[in-house]
Amino acid sequence: MTHESTAVGLASAYSNATTASGDWWRDAVIYQVYVRSFADSDGDGIGDLRGVRSRLPHLARLGVDAVWLTPFYVSPQADGGYDVADYRAVDPLFGDLADADELVRAAHELGLRVIVDVVPNHTSEQHPWFRAALAGEPGARERYLFRRGRGADGSLPPNDWESIFGGPAWTRVADGEWYLHLFAPEQPDLDWTHPEVTAEFDSVLRFWLDLGVDGFRIDVAHGMVKADGLPDIGRGAQATLIGAEPLPFFDQDGVHEIHRSWRRLLDSYEGARIGVAEAWAPSSERLALYVRPDELHQAFNFRFLNCPWDPAAMRTVIDESLSATTAVGAPTTWVLSNHDVVRHVTRYGGGPRGLARARAAAMLMLSLPGSAYLYQGEELGLPEVSDLPPDSRQDPAFRRGRRRQIPVPAGAPAPGIIAPRDAEPPARPQADAGPTPEPRLAPQAHTPTRPQADAGHAPQADAGGGPAPQAQRQPGPEAGAGSGPQAGSGPEARVGCGPQAGSGPVPDPLTAPEAEGQDGLRDGCRVPIPWAGAEPPYGFGPAGSWLPQPPEWAGLSVAAQTGDPHSTLELYRAALELRRAMPGLGAPGAGPSPDPRGMRWLPSPDGVLLFTRPGFACTLNTRPEPVELPAPGRPVLSSAPVETDGRTVRLPPDSCTWWAF
């Protein structure tokens, strides 16, 4: 007989034990909402918090456990909101604090938890603290990493560190001192040895916990502490070393005391509030330190996302990931896409083949022990939009070397030096053609202009702290998500950075070609998602959308796919329903099994993965042709129709099937 990919009426009868307990996060499915591309409530073409709230029923019906919101705080948007000017206020572009409060309440009423971003490694240059530092307020610079330069006149950066976004990680100010920014110059790094920094972020976390959020995704969780003395690295292309070699500015042991203190703070609140580390470390064992019992609850595991369509590579990644986190009693996280990488339909080859693989990979991910993260629109099988017109692109990296010349006003400081700002800061080059409003330090009415694209600073699925792999911009039939961070990758071109030793004359920072970095094509995974209708913006909002949507997306909308048992949306709904219904798909160790992870690999033909969990089996056929093998049980869900007589099964190519026994 042929088994179709449907599952009906199971979740109401059962629930995983961990979901009902305080350890909800151990096997939670968490949905990333990229706020500006999810739903627009006011017709400006940009998603907002009210839009998110209006679409929460979709997420509840999908069956996820929690929602992770990308940054919505007051920000000049130099790095897509990861440059925060006020951590306790909502940028008017996305609404106001009342909208955030109502969104959290509405989510809780639907049984959804809410996780928000916190950005502790750096602030915006428009943060009051940094403005005070540039203005020379006594003691203000001690909150950041200001240093005197090298050389007789201090004209060289204090060390050889490079920005993740390219060029030196230092910018010189008008009085000759330099400040550290591991990302854009508009993102000065904080000094976490200063007690005011520690106290401020404790207060920020309490502010949002008191509002009712259920946890934080911690941007650059590996970066807040730097090695004593800020030693040189001694080599270039430092972004390529992230996650591969020890670095004096990342993954220092001192970050763990910060995370322990935050764990104590989180544990002081009712309701199992969680912390999720966006961290890069040189080994799985170092990454596991972030999720020890007295530290954070989860850490993003990006190796699964970066894995090619190869069963041996997949099994290695799964085994090593589970081994590292099991050793410290923590769950593993899994992810396939986010707002910084090519959508996995396209990474796996695009077209029908890419979609088949993407559906199978999603089922594999959702069957593994631990917690899974979904990126908005993947439940619709959305591909990457690779043909956006150049004038619509808003990824700042796309504009490298193309930005318009801005006249330098009379009396301006020499190139490579920035002056203290007053109430009206000078203009910065922008990625889009429109003016950028004065950054807000408190919510106030304004007419928002089109923002720059969220750059994030993640080499992964996250969103946040590190470079996005360039390999992800070159999808092919067998492409994985990329091989790792690339030199100088990042969203925003360098402005006003000082010279490197031996570099010769300092170029004009407003007109010079930009450093090599990301290819600027990340807009393709950020196109607003389709909800309903035959024409753009497909229910995204009452007017257009900040990035154009393809005409063929009408058939991929939520409305078009709802009720179709063969659609990707209904596959995700069925998989999440079964994940809740089957006890064997709980957290690591759930159910009787000799393996503490509750998972065992079984022999299988070449190109096929087969593993069991209590009462459950999963088969993945990565081959381009069908494969026959003994049926491991009764099929309950498949990414493509399977043929079985109860004794043997014919697995379709590029497919995943779940079995009960």
In sequence order, which residues have a C-beta less than 8 Å from that of residue 173 and are 6 or more positions away?
Answer: 134, 146, 179, 417, 418, 419, 420
* Closest among 540, 482, 474 to 336, alpha carbons compared: 482
β-partners of residue 620 are 609, 656
Q: In what order do the strands lie in the sheet with 600-601?
A: 600-601, 608-613, 616-621, 655-660, 634-638
Burial 50-87 (b: 16+ CB within 10 A, else e): bbbbbbbebbeebbbbbbbbbbbbbbbbbbbbbbbbbb
- 3-class secondary-structure state, position 541: coil
Of the residues 219, 251, 395, 454, only one is catalytic, namely: 219
3-state DSSP of 387-432:
CCCHHHCCCHHHHCCCCCCCCCCCCCCCCCEECCCCCCCCCCCCCC
**DSSP states of 438-465 as a string?**
PPPSS-----PPPPPPP----SSSSSSS
The rounded distance, in Å, linking the Cα atoms of 203 and 56 is 29
* Backbone φ, ψ for residue 173 (5° rounding): -100, 175
Phi, psi values for residue 659, rounded to 5°: -130, 145
278 assigned to active site? yes
Q: With contact defined as beta carbons under 8 Å apart, do 608 and 619 qualify?
A: yes
Burial class from Cβ neighbours inside 10 Å (0-12, 13-18, 19+) for residue 9 reads: exposed
Number of Cβ atoms within 10 Å of the Cβ of 149: 18
Residue (of 131, 145, 45, 42) closest to 95 by Cα position: 42
Decide if 547 contacts 526 (C-beta within 8 A).
Answer: yes
Per the structure block, which two tokens stand in for 79? Answer: 């790095």
Tokens of 377: 């629109």
Given the structure tokens 């073409």, which residue do they identify?
A: 45
Of 517, 390, 394, nearest to 459 by C-alpha is 517
Inter-axis angle of helices 195-211 and 97-109, to 10 degrees?
50
Catalytic residue among 65, 160, 278, 492: 278
**219 is known as an active-site residue:** yes
d(CA 431, CA 92): 20
DSSP conformation class of 289: G
Q: Tell me the CB-side half-sphere exposure of residue 135, using CA atoms within 13 A.
A: 14
DSSP 528: P
Helix segments in 295-350, DSSP class H: 311-326, 344-347
Identify the CA nearest to 400 among candidates 288, 507, 511.
Answer: 511
Q: Which two tokens stand for residue 454?
A: 């969220």
- Kindly list the catalytic residues: 219, 278
